[in-house]
Amino acid sequence: MIKVGVVGGTGYTGVELLRLLARHPGVALQAITSRGDAGTAVADMFPSLRGWVDLAFVTPQDADLAACDVVFFATPNGIAMNQARELVDAGVRIVDLAADFRIRDVAEWQKWYGMEHAAPELVAEAVYGLPELNREQIRGARVLANPGCYPTAVQLGFLPLIEAGLVDLERLVADAKSGVSGAGRKAEIHTLLAEAADSFKAYGVAGHRHLPEIRQGLSLLSGQPVGLTFVPHLLPMIRGIHATLYATLTGEADLQALFESRYRDEPFVDVMPAGAHPETRTVRASNMCRIAVHRPQGGDVVVVLSVIDNLVKGAAGQAVQNMNIMFGLDERAGLDIVPVSP
Amino acid sequence: MIKVGVVGGTGYTGVELLRLLARHPGVALQAITSRGDAGTAVADMFPSLRGWVDLAFVTPQDADLAACDVVFFATPNGIAMNQARELVDAGVRIVDLAADFRIRDVAEWQKWYGMEHAAPELVAEAVYGLPELNREQIRGARVLANPGCYPTAVQLGFLPLIEAGLVDLERLVADAKSGVSGAGRKAEIHTLLAEAADSFKAYGVAGHRHLPEIRQGLSLLSGQPVGLTFVPHLLPMIRGIHATLYATLTGEADLQALFESRYRDEPFVDVMPAGAHPETRTVRASNMCRIAVHRPQGGDVVVVLSVIDNLVKGAAGQAVQNMNIMFGLDERAGLDIVPVSP
Amino acid sequence: MIKVGVVGGTGYTGVELLRLLARHPGVALQAITSRGDAGTAVADMFPSLRGWVDLAFVTPQDADLAACDVVFFATPNGIAMNQARELVDAGVRIVDLAADFRIRDVAEWQKWYGMEHAAPELVAEAVYGLPELNREQIRGARVLANPGCYPTAVQLGFLPLIEAGLVDLERLVADAKSGVSGAGRKAEIHTLLAEAADSFKAYGVAGHRHLPEIRQGLSLLSGQPVGLTFVPHLLPMIRGIHATLYATLTGEADLQALFESRYRDEPFVDVMPAGAHPETRTVRASNMCRIAVHRPQGGDVVVVLSVIDNLVKGAAGQAVQNMNIMFGLDERAGLDIVPVSP
Amino acid sequence: MIKVGVVGGTGYTGVELLRLLARHPGVALQAITSRGDAGTAVADMFPSLRGWVDLAFVTPQDADLAACDVVFFATPNGIAMNQARELVDAGVRIVDLAADFRIRDVAEWQKWYGMEHAAPELVAEAVYGLPELNREQIRGARVLANPGCYPTAVQLGFLPLIEAGLVDLERLVADAKSGVSGAGRKAEIHTLLAEAADSFKAYGVAGHRHLPEIRQGLSLLSGQPVGLTFVPHLLPMIRGIHATLYATLTGEADLQALFESRYRDEPFVDVMPAGAHPETRTVRASNMCRIAVHRPQGGDVVVVLSVIDNLVKGAAGQAVQNMNIMFGLDERAGLDIVPVSP
């Protein structure tokens, strides 16, 4: 059994990680840390875990994280980079669900995240954990940067087109919509039900932190800078991301066949039949990404629809998938969840 | 034109009051105070008011409230009681949308609200602003205690039965459900969309602050203590209260006729036809209370269904209605709003 | 492996049953019937099942249901009673998720359901499938009447009180609230999102079909007729039932200990700590019923809060639980689902 | 008083029209027709109108529509074109809220709407009722084609850019999202709350009927064909459209000043401050369109955010605005509604 620690278990990615790990057949949960809630039973804070998780939160000091095989950081940005060095030196493998190790260019990271990076040398060795792209490097990773939620949905949607060199890289558009859980379990006014329900808005049009992450991924894929307009929106619902992607075709191809072929062996990417419109609820609570590719009226614009559950494939589920790869387990272990619909 | 001041305009009852006052034909809005947001244009915080309210928030010091004819307190509990004396002495009439003047028994108030009362002598003279019960006293009120949201829906539902002496006063049950806006515009986790949407729960079963208020109202009405079980619940929606009331009949009457007769001349109580089930959306954004009375299977249990918009008839709308009465205006002035449905 | 057939797989209880059976380790799904959609791949209608169910709907004629070990009827009322005889005679065990076999008094059933009963003799032998009450009889059942959603939540809440003879049976009140999926997957106006969202209403106050079912259950338990007022309400959400139960205590007891003791060994009933308010989301997608018991202000009224997922413990999950008992499997098989929250 | 008839008052645009007309100071409502519901009191079907509309639905035959000054068609597509001729000849002015007169190219209309056009000669004289574009022609219109909901939001957003010749007309993208009320009050499965809530999807990517309408409007504006990709999406909420528009700049301009200048005198278009992200709830229940214009990272892509209430500015409110213009009333008459927020 893999000994697992979770740092920061009181947010949505944390509790979702616990939901998945609680049923994972190859894992023994050792400790879940929380500075503010040490001493509280996890199941008292999250009654949905009653009968599944019987640990209490402990302080980071009281958790013997160095004795774990892997530690997940389900923390705000800027935490993992301060604690990873010591754990890595102790032979613990790290999966960071926050952004500390996602951007290779440390100066760029510092600009978008507004703080100095505490462990640039770990950025250099960190592996970006998008299994559909980096499965081999993930196997050996000591520090794994789990991708952001929007970047997962957007990159999986553009990937086959860019690999095949089929689209104008100067003019990509990603119009993305996320459920409110993506904003985290923080006491803030703008995500109150009375503010965010029965309404819809864009945000961060001037620049969102996931923009450089997506741009980096697409540029690495294409070998050249890409021009991307990324507009996130807040959906009046709990879970789910829907990315609507627009690109101009520069070559001819059977797009449906291209996507199906690219993802044929991927356990967690489902290319829908031609003409389909994937709904976010069809992946609710599961690690699946469903994608449909369209070419409206046979023109030269390709429209890709890509949906994930932001807390699963966009966070905790992908983290478990990465752990499975890192430790040589069945990639599906603990992720055999039928989406909950309706 | 009546000169109006609003203290504490940044919460939901405050912004709702502004929505109503902005179109009120007999009112001139003088000042809207907020300690924390002084200097901010009201319409910057609440873009729905762009073009309707062009004031900025001011500090209470900078607002010449003593020059107003009436001041509304849309503040947390415990604020109005500290500021009312001075305004009353200056000849300003007070409408408190919070609870400071609702409970006649000051000791009881202090027990439920957990603070010492700063103006017990004003409690003694304050008028409880349920127009359907107290219209005459309201006319002359200097200090008006605007009823709570649950108490409005529950009292209007029980009122005809108790006035007619038709029910067992020992065993009243009020099972009430409220939209999340009732919890106010405060940054808290439990009312985040991701927490409160697509879910439902009771709260405060051991005792909710509206219990003594309702009990006081029903006891005054019946002239004896009443035994009331009151259980509030949180609905996964923004606006609306639905009170489902249960009582045991101790006498015979045509209940439908009783309710229709009692409320025939009330502009803001609508007795639905026999057999109806009022939906909260049928009063959305309006000052109406809709009531239906049932006697399931002809037994001795009467079930009353009473719905209001908690921010209108349960708060700001009733406050405007009370102001209209206090100043001799048409009771409907500024409240001629067709409910928004769907 | 138990050979399973599902009749009527296109409604919400049907698709939920498929979600649960798809992962059940002891089951082989043989056929899913639908008159209207025969030939359609199940996963085309329900994309959430892509990769999990690869059958197509077949007509009842084309499904060799007589070769199954058990057949689930996830059909409208009135279907199972016409098909059960033949299957039972062929040695197939029946689990009816509709109401055909729930009411022992056939005349009463006919009154509430508005049709003649086609198999009264099967009613006589049918077992009411509430495992917490009838586990032993369930083991041998040939025809199992799976309880209704409201009746499950209400009976589990009242059960310990009635068994202990602690409450006045003349004056029980069940104020119950259900998510919209309880109304089924039928094209109707009143359950459109634009009608039912952001609103709340009671319905069926004059009499709902679950009333006689609950009354029968509680009367059998107490050995005498009970006086029950049951008011169902429609919640603006998808899944979940919350029953708020009121009764007058006629004796003294440690209610918390009573409930904990009664349900200590039940795998799917969770008695919450004293003072708790269970939220429906804490059981979302799972077979759990969570219950809290309150005695407000130490008076003589007991308030029980009981929550289930109406599609799981209130329908498909309880059906699987019953099947597990009937076939001697681990009662938890296929039901090891951590509730999905948020 | 203008004598008004409404044909087809049982859908969402119909009931919304009644909400607005009920308070309109210059209007006398003569008749509301419905074949299916003739004889039913309007307020029985729509209790939100109790006390505001006391008419019953009548059959088209029983309504003396020819005696009206104006008749609104809040009907499905294909109805108005059959009845307009007779009314126009009787001197009645027509406002069609459906699509019968929106597309000038009758063959194109027939292709998208799948029926033969019954009154091509009226198409030729019909005026497209976007006041911000066509106010002068609207004054004299006998047949007014009220714009679609998406076309209103999209055209108002692109209009200043296209008039100024600032964008590449070959590559316009309109990613639009609508609340479910846009699908109408029809009994269908896909818009049930249990299907459409807590989920999000695109639809009609291959081609939506509003595409030719938007394309026609933008082409007329620019004097040349435009290349537009239009993707509509279904939001899990009742009211509101948010259009996110993308275009490539071909020239330099102060975009904020351009938009402010263009709409300075428009009563129902509000250009938000630079950097703003309009929320649909800020226009809820009102006739306002709010627009923000962005140029992310100072690049050559312009992003316009445009929000309306689909039932008001996207349907019934714009129809009333057009009527006001046609009859020389204050354009704001009956539309002085403060948006309902929260």
How would you classify residue C24: left for phi > 0, otherwise alpha for psi between -120 and 50, otherwise beta?
Answer: beta
Q: Distance (Å, rounded) from C-alpha D326 to C-alpha D95?
A: 10
Q: Which of B4, B127, B133, B149 is catalytic?
A: B149
For D289, the 3-state DSSP assignment is strand
CB contact under 8 A, C185 and D191: no
Kindly determine whether residue C185 and residue D192, on different chains, have CB atoms separated by under 8 Å.
yes
For residue A324, is pLDDT > 90?
yes
Classify C241 as helix, strand or coil: strand
Residue B9 pLDDT grade (very low, low, confident, very high; cuts 50, 70, 90): confident
CB D163 within 8 A of CB D221: yes
Calculate how close chain C gets to B195, using CA atoms only, in Å. 6
Provide the 3-class DSSP secondary structure of residue C91: coil
Contact yes or no for D29/D4 (Cβ under 8 A)? yes
Estimate to the nearest angstrom the gap between the alpha carbon of B332 and the chain centroid. Answer: 16
In chain C, residues with a C-beta closer than 8 Å to the C-beta of B202 are 242, 244, 277, 305
- Reported as a single tens digit per residue, the pLDDT across C14-56 is 999 999 999 999 999 999 999 999 999 999 999 999 999 999 9
Residue C149 annotated as catalytic: yes
User: Using 50, 70 and 90 to split pLDDT, how confident is the model at B282?
Assistant: very high
- How would you list the strands of the sheet with A2-7, edge to edge? A57-58, A27-33, A2-7, A70-73, A93-96, A143-145, A127-128
A12 phi and psi angles, rounded to 5 deg: -70, -40
- What integer pLDDT is reported at residue D9 of this predicted model? 87
**Annotated active-site residue in C6, C87, C149, C285:** C149
- For residue C272, the chain A residues in CB contact (below 8 A) are 47
Q: How many CB atoms are located within 10 Å of the residue D117 CB?
A: 18
Q: What residues does CATH 3.40.50.720 cover in chain B?
A: 2-125
Give the CA distances from residue C297 to residues B207, B231, C303, in Å, rounded to whole numbers and listed in that order.
7, 12, 11
* Chain A residue nearest residue C44, CA to CA: A273
Exposed e or buried b for every residue in B3-32, given b needs 16+ CB within 10 A? bbbbbbbbbbbbbbbbbbbbbbebbebbbb
For residue B199, list chain C residues with Cβ-Cβ distance below 8 A: 237, 240, 279-281, 284
pLDDT at B147 over 90: yes
Beta strands of D181-333 (E only): which ranges? 201-202, 228-234, 241-248, 269-271, 289-294, 301-308
Angle at CA of residue C116, ends C112 and C117, nearest 5°: 95
pLDDT (mean) for A214-225: 97
Q: Which of C48, C270, C336 sits opposite A50 (nearest CB)?
A: C270
Side chain identity at D272, as an amino acid letter? M
DSSP state at residue B316: I
Cβ of C342 and A52 within 8 Å? Answer: no
Q: Which residue is listed with tokens 């108002």? A: D156
> How far is B145 from B123, CA to CA, in rounded Å?
9
Cβ distance A192 to B194 less than 8 Å, yes or no, reads: no
In chain C, ranges of CATH 3.30.360.10 domains: 150-310
Nearest to C338 among A22, A197, A281 (CB): A22
Q: Which helix (H) or strand (E) holds B143?
A: strand B143-145
The verdict on a CB contact (< 8 Å) between B246 and C246 is yes
Distance CA(A74)–CA(A57), nearest Å, equals 13
Interface with C, mutate which of A19, A49, A50 (most C CBs under 10 A): A50
- Distance, CA of C27 to CA of A124 (rounded, Å): 49
Cis preceding-peptide flag for C342 (omega within 30 of 0): yes
Alpha-helical runs (H) found in D234-300: 255-263
Tell me: cis bond preceding B212? Omega within 30 of 0 counts: no
Query: In this complex, do A299 and D200 lie within 8 Å of one another by their Cβ atoms?
Result: no
H or E stretch covering D143:
strand D143-145
Residue D240 and residue D235: Cα distance in Å, rounded?
9
Query: pLDDT tens digit string along B43-72?
Result: 999 999 999 999 999 998 899 999 999 999
Q: For residue B190, name the pLDDT band (cuts at 50, 70, 90).
A: very high
Amino acid residing at D89: D
Tell me how crowded residue A107 is: count the other CB atoms within 10 A of its CB. 9
Distance (Å, whole) CA C53 – CA C20: 11
Q: Which residues of A touch C (CB under 8 A)?
A: 12, 15, 19, 22-23, 46-52, 181, 185, 197-198, 238-239, 270, 272, 276, 278-279, 281-285, 288, 290, 311, 336, 338-342
Nearest CA in chain B to A234: B193
Q: What is the pLDDT along chain D (342 residues), one digit of tens a residue?
A: 999 999 998 999 999 999 999 999 999 999 999 999 999 999 999 999 999 999 999 998 899 999 999 999 999 999 999 999 999 999 999 999 999 999 999 999 999 999 999 999 999 999 999 999 999 999 999 999 999 999 999 999 999 999 999 999 999 999 999 999 999 999 999 999 999 999 999 999 999 999 999 999 999 999 999 999 999 999 999 999 999 999 999 999 999 999 999 999 999 999 999 999 999 999 999 999 999 999 999 999 999 999 999 999 999 999 999 999 999 999 999 999 999 999
Six-digit token string for A333: 């272990």
Q: Using CB atoms, which chains have 3+ pairs under 8 A with A?
A: B, C, D
D60: phi then psi, degrees, rounded to nearest 5: -55, -35
Per-residue pLDDT at D67:
97
The angle formed by the CA atoms of residues B303, B309 and B311, to the nearest 5 degrees, is: 135
Q: What are phi and psi of A222, to 5 degrees?
A: -95, -15
From the CB of residue C41, how many other CB atoms can be counted at a distance below 10 Å?
15
Name residue, tokens 């009546």. Answer: B2
pLDDT for the residue numbered D161:
98
Chains with at least 3 CB pairs less than 8 angstroms from chain C:
A, B, D
The two three-digit tokens of residue A107, written as one number: 């100066």
Report the pLDDT averaged over residues A100-112: 98
C289: β partners: C269
Chains B, D: CB contacts within 8 A come to 81
Tokens of B152: 């409005």
- Which residue, chain included where needed, has tokens 């709990």? A238
**Residue recorded with tokens 């039912």:** C196
In whole angstroms, what is the distance from residue B247 CA to residue B227 CA?
11
> Is residue A18 packed enough to be buried (19+ CB in 10 Å), middle (13-18) or exposed (0-12)?
buried
Residue A56 pLDDT class (50, 70, 90 cuts): very high
Chain B residues interacting with chain D (CB cutoff of 8 angstroms): 12, 15, 19, 22-23, 46-52, 181, 185, 197-198, 238-239, 270, 272, 276, 278-279, 281-285, 288, 290, 311, 336, 338-342
Coil/strand/helix, residue D305:
strand
Closest residue on chain B to A196 (Cα): B193
Sequence-distant (6+) residues with CB within 8 A of A282 are A288, A290, A307, A339, A341, C47, C48, C50
C195, HSE (Cβ side, Cα atoms, 13 Å): 22
Query: Which of D23, D185, D341 is opposite residue B48, by nearest beta carbon?
Result: D341
Residue with tokens 């699987």: C320
Distance CA D262, CA C326 (A): 73
- B301-308 and B289-294 as β-strands: parallel, antiparallel, unpaired? antiparallel
pLDDT above 90 for A21: yes
pLDDT in tens, C311-324: 999 999 999 999 99
Place of tokens 């006035």: B163
**What is the residue type of A42?**
V
**By C-alpha distance, which of C270, C248, C240, C272 is closest to C176?**
C240
Q: Do B202 and C277 touch (CB under 8 A)?
A: yes
The yes/no answer to whether this complex scores an ipTM above 0.95 is: yes
- Look at residue D93 and give its three-state secondary structure: strand
Q: Write out the residues of chain B at the interface with chain A, using a CB-CB cutoff of 8 A.
A: 12, 179-181, 183, 185-189, 191-198, 236-238
**CATH superfamily of the B2-125 domain:** NAD(P)-binding Rossmann-like Domain (3.40.50.720)
**Do A229 and D303 touch, CB atoms closer than 8 A?**
yes
When CB atoms are compared, the residue of A203, A277, A296 closest to D277 is A203
Yes or no, beta carbons of A340 and C15 under 8 Å apart: no
Nearest to D175 by CA among D229, D219, D213: D229
How many whole angstroms separate alpha carbon A147 and alpha carbon A153?
10
SS3 B11: coil
Instruction: Please tell me whether residue A17 adopts helix, strand or coil conformation.
Output: helix
Per CATH, the homologous superfamily of domain B150-311 is Dihydrodipicolinate Reductase; domain 2 (3.30.360.10)
Looking at the DSSP bridge assignments, the partners of residue D289 are D269
Query: Looking at beta carbons, which residues of chain C come within 8 Å of A12?
Result: 342
Cβ atoms C323, C68 nearer than 8 A: no
Cis peptide before A60 (omega within 30 of 0): no
Superfamily of domain C150-310: Dihydrodipicolinate Reductase; domain 2 (3.30.360.10)
Q: How far apart are CA C43 and CA C52, in angstroms?
A: 8
| Of D109, D102, D107, the residue nearest D143 (C-alpha) | D102
pLDDT of B81 = 98
**Cα–Cα distance for residue pair B114/B98, rounded to 1 Å:** 14
Alpha helices in chain D (DSSP H): 12-23, 42-45, 80-89, 106-113, 120-125, 131-139, 149-163, 193-196, 210-222, 255-263, 317-326
- Per-residue model confidence as pLDDT tens digits over C237-254: 999 999 999 999 999 999
Rounded to whole angstroms, the maximal C-alpha distance in chain B is 61
CA nearest neighbour of A334 among B102, A319, A326, B263: A319
Any idea which residue has 């799904």 for tokens? Answer: C29
- Give dist(CA C46, CA A17) in Å, integer: 27
Query: Looking at A68, A87, A149, A285, which residue is catalytic?
Result: A149
